[in-house]
Amino acid sequence: MSMNEVLGYEEPCFVISVAARIVGVQTQTLRYYESLGLVQPARTNGGQRVYSRRDVERVRRMRSLIDDLGVNLAGVEVVVNLLDRLQESDSEKRRLETENERLRGLLEALQGG
């Protein structure tokens, strides 16, 4: 059983200090990214930031753009927003394909075939 199966990809499971250590940044950097709207960690009832595996991967991707490609934060924001929109489009495409297949099956059943 993989880690993604045990703890869902979206499941908040890392406090800010652990998330920062995983990504290799300071906790202040994660707070700054949050203030810019680049990452939105969940909050505990006590207000503590808790990051999911998705959040950690997002910050890793951002750091790669900054460190490896020299992209500034404004560029990072554009790129991650485009990646988010692309992922949403892919999800919508899969949903529509599934619905299309379902409707084809219904049509074939109604046509007796």
The CATH number of 3-110, from 1.10.1300.10, 3.30.565.10, 3.30.70.1140, 1.10.1660.10, is: 1.10.1660.10
Q: What is the pLDDT along the chain (113 residues), one digit of tens a residue?
A: 545 455 577 888 899 999 999 999 999 999 999 999 999 999 999 999 999 999 999 999 999 999 999 999 999 999 999 998 999 999 999 999 999 999 999 999 999 86
Burial 22-57 (b: 16+ CB within 10 A, else e): ebebeeeebeebbeeebbebeeeeeeebbbbbebbe
Q: Which amino acid is at 61?
A: R
